[in-house]
A and B are shown apart, each in its own frame.
Chain A
């Protein structure tokens, strides 16, 4: 306060300075500036809103649009479904092709071993056929043997003539009869075969390898006929290579053993 008293003359001079007033257009200027600012703000707000809306709109809404291309909606839906189905079918085809190729590869890789196994599995001993049937079966076995050899050598199989196929069918029928153990015909045939073997043995003690092999192949060839699924001669020829059922083999082996025992006894006597 003392300081203010000291400078009281200057303070009075400052306080008595003339006061001015704003011009008449002061408020108008301010108002116009504010209006300009508000309009700019509104424009920028609307722009930002539009940008935000554009951002919110997704790909499909842009593509179709609310007002623009509504007629295209079903066509686009159909096209989408078509593309989807095409994709699925192609995908499945590719899968199937790949599976098939894999299977083929596996078969190709396995086939030599299988053939070898089949060759190993061939029964050593066969039952000789009656005379008439034997000749037919011999022919078959010879053919199958040649065919198998041809196959091994890479030669194509020649389908049999109608006469041959009829013969083969007869052979199948006979085999069916023979293999039905419980029928009386089978018993007869086994007895006949026993007699033949006995006579052969008595002659020179020789059971030819060819006969045994043939008998084996004969059984092989006729085994598919049991199922009755063979339709063509080419299939039949292929089926010659199929392995014999294990049960049948066992039975035949047992019968052969019995026969051999009986022959031995007779020889001893």
Chain B
């Protein structure tokens, strides 16, 4: 598979995203493979920062590319292809995040009803790799991002980690440009505050 994708890359690397999707709409599977190759790492990083869990991020990115495969004909040249793909990924991430949130709430209620077997406290979803880096700066930043409200977290990740333009973020989230700017500022402010708090506690613990 990796060999195939490398061949596809050589053949289709000069095409733009939009050209590739139009090729794929004409049943060109190589174009699809090229799209996946271009976006899989970008998407998984975005989703990892959004969910805070690598496994969930992989699952959601798989689902996103699968949806792209199934609904390829729904794309029209109104927006950039990357915007459309990020929108799909973000919607998937939101539904997944809400599902997990609901599941945790039910589990805690079951515990208080006396049903101990279903009780599961959500771990911080860190891989062994993350556990090893638990004392690092990245770990604390991820904790700070996780603590942000959903609306601030989305814009911060899209702007400061994924380097998307304000206009593009506005299109992905389907909100006005001014709202994007204000949310980014507030998100950064709150992130700064949470990071400072985390550093303080780290110093105390030391």
Residues of A within 8 A of B (CB): 3, 7, 10-11, 13-15, 17-24, 26-31, 33-34, 37
| B195 part of interface (Cβ distance < 8 Å) | yes
A22 touches B40 (CB 8 A): yes
- A26 to B195 CA separation, bound complex (whole angstroms): 33
Q: A23-B58, A33-B62, A33-B66 are in contact. Are A13 and B40 (CB under 8 A)?
A: no
- A182 to B1 CA separation, bound complex (whole angstroms): 128
Can you list 19 pairs linking A and B with CB atoms under 8 Å apart? Answer: A3-B184, A10-B160, A10-B188, A11-B160, A15-B160, A17-B49, A17-B138, A19-B41, A19-B45, A20-B44, A22-B40, A23-B58, A26-B62, A27-B2, A27-B5, A27-B40, A30-B36, A30-B65, A33-B62
B residues near A27, Cβ cutoff 8 Å? 1-2, 5, 36, 40
B residues near A30, Cβ cutoff 8 Å? 36, 62, 65-66
Q: A20-B48, A28-B1 are in contact. Are A14 and B160 (CB under 8 A)?
A: yes
- A23 to B181 CA separation, bound complex (whole angstroms): 34
| B192 part of interface (Cβ distance < 8 Å) | yes
Instruction: Mark out the residues of chain B between 147 and 189 whose CB falls within 8 Å of any chain A CB in the assembled complex.
Output: 156, 160-161, 163, 181, 184-185, 188-189
Known: A11-B160, A34-B69. 14 other contacts (CB 8 A): A3-B184, A3-B185, A7-B192, A10-B191, A17-B49, A20-B41, A21-B44, A22-B40, A24-B2, A26-B58, A29-B62, A30-B62, A33-B66, A37-B66
Residues of B within 8 A of A (CB): 1-2, 5, 36, 40-41, 44-45, 48-49, 54, 58, 61-62, 65-66, 69-70, 137-138, 141-142, 156, 160-161, 163, 181, 184-185, 188-189, 191-192, 195
- A248 to B152 CA separation, bound complex (whole angstroms): 129
A20 touches B45 (CB 8 A): yes
Q: A22-B41, A29-B62 are in contact. Are A10 and B48 (CB under 8 A)?
A: no
Q: Give the nearest-CB partner of A3 in chain B.
A: B185
A14 touches B161 (CB 8 A): yes
Select A15's contact among B41, B161, B188, beta carbons within 8 Å: B161
- A17 to B48 CA separation, bound complex (whole angstroms): 11
A residues near B36, Cβ cutoff 8 Å? 27, 30
A11 touches B66 (CB 8 A): no
- A13 to B156 CA separation, bound complex (whole angstroms): 12
Write the nearest CB–CB distance from B77 to chain A, whole angstroms. Answer: 24
- A227 to B100 CA separation, bound complex (whole angstroms): 116
